[in-house]
């Protein structure tokens, strides 16, 4: 993806506030020439070359910086919140609600250091018209990808998404000399709940446990369900204290939750911290072994009781 650096782009004199009638006439004539039918079609074709939201908005920003000096570009819709690489805040913000007919697509926000002129706004409105349908298609594609990465029952990330996020997190950790923590967990004797109470109750238990996990992690951590009663927590910028805190919170939450206490439900967790020699496979295998040891200990402890 091309990195946005709008400060290095040239922009036209449209970004100043024109007061001269001659300037206004010249701007109007240039504006009409810019957005002929052929020019509009070519812009739509350009924006339609990708379904990737970041790439689409970057292509759009390159065009927009021809007419407006801005330091940041931000887009937000019901399902998407994205800032282009290199975006910075500025003295002013100007927001445009993008619509097709009366259907809201999202809000595009420009960070600018001087107020927009009328011709700025008119040009951006035209550019937004060229962007609207390609942007709608890109959002639909993004939403479909997100659904494909989610567990349908709990809304957590699925195994495919976990594999992608683990790879990304470890790459970033190596670059920034930080550490990734991985916690694997499953519910103790969950099969007995399905067998004794039915799968509807089992599903309710899984949803409740997922909600507990959401409350036990930091905003920067990620949750996944692999299927059945198997879960994973990916912890970025991790250390032993962060892992221990999560394990402590999960244990307390299980005891305090009315539904899960009713079924005497427990959870085994196996955790590990990344080292520089790790691959995605090795860190996962180590966490899995830790989980196996914890389950074996729990089973032995319960049998003694």
Residue 90 CB coordination number (10 Å): 16
CATH number of 159-304: 3.30.70.270
**What is the per-residue pLDDT across 17-46, written as a single tens digit (0 to 9) for each?**
444 566 555 555 566 666 667 778 888 898
Give the range with max mean pLDDT: 38-47, 115-124, 164-173.
Answer: 164-173
Per-domain boundaries in the chain = 6-148, 159-304
Q: 159-304: same fold as 6-148?
A: no
Burial of residue 131 (number of CB atoms within 10 Å: 0-12, 13-18, 19+) = buried
| Predicted TM-score (pTM) of this structure | 0.65
3-state secondary structure of 152: coil
**What is the per-residue pLDDT across 250-283, written as a single tens digit (0 to 9) for each?**
999 998 999 888 888 889 999 999 999 999 999 9
Active site residue 229: yes
* 86 DSSP β-pair partners: none
User: Among the options 69, 151, 221, 229, which is catalytic?
Assistant: 229
Residue 162 CB coordination number (10 Å): 23
Residue 132: band (very low, low, confident or very high) from pLDDT cuts 50, 70, 90: very high
**What is the per-residue pLDDT across 217-241, written as a single tens digit (0 to 9) for each?**
998 899 999 988 999 999 999 999 9
**Architecture (CATH level 2) of domain 6-148:** 2-Layer Sandwich (3.30)
Of 115, 108, 75, the closest CA to residue 92 belongs to 115
């Amino acid at each position: 993806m091309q990195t946005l650096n709008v400060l290095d782009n040239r922009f036209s004199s449209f970004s100043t506030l024109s007061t001269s009638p001659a300037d206004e006439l010249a701007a109007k004539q240039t504006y009409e020439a810019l957005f002929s039918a052929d020019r509009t079609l070519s812009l739509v074709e350009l924006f339609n070359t990708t379904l990737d939201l970041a790439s689409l908005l970057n292509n759009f920003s390159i065009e927009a910086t021809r007419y407006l000096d801005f330091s940041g570009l931000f887009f937000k819709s019901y399902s998407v919140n994205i800032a282009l690489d290199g975006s910075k805040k500025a003295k002013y913000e100007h927001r445009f609600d993008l619509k097709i007919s009366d259907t809201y697509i999202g809000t595009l926000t420009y960070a600018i250091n001087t107020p927009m002129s009328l011709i700025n706004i008119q040009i951006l409105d035209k550019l937004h018209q060229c962007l609207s349908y390609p942007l709608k298609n890109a959002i639909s594609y993004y939403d479909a990808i997100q659904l494909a990465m989610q567990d349908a029952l709990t809304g957590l990330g699925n195994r495919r998404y976990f594999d992608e996020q683990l790879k990304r997190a470890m790459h970033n950790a190596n670059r920034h000399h930080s550490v990734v923590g991985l916690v694997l967990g499953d519910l103790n004797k969950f099969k007995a709940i399905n067998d004794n109470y039915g799968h509807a109750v089992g599903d309710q238990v899984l949803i409740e446990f997922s909600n507990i996990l959401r409350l036990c992690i930091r905003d920067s951590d990620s949750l996944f369900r692999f299927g059945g009663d198997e879960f994973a927590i990916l912890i970025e910028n991790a250390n032993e204290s962060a892992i221990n805190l999560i394990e402590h919170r999960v244990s307390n939450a299980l005891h305090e939750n009315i539904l899960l206490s009713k079924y005497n439900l427990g959870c085994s967790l196996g955790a590990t911290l990344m080292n520089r020699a790790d691959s995605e496979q090795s860190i996962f295998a180590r966490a899995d072994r830790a989980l196996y040891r914890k389950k074996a200990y729990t089973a032995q402890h319960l049998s003694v009781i």
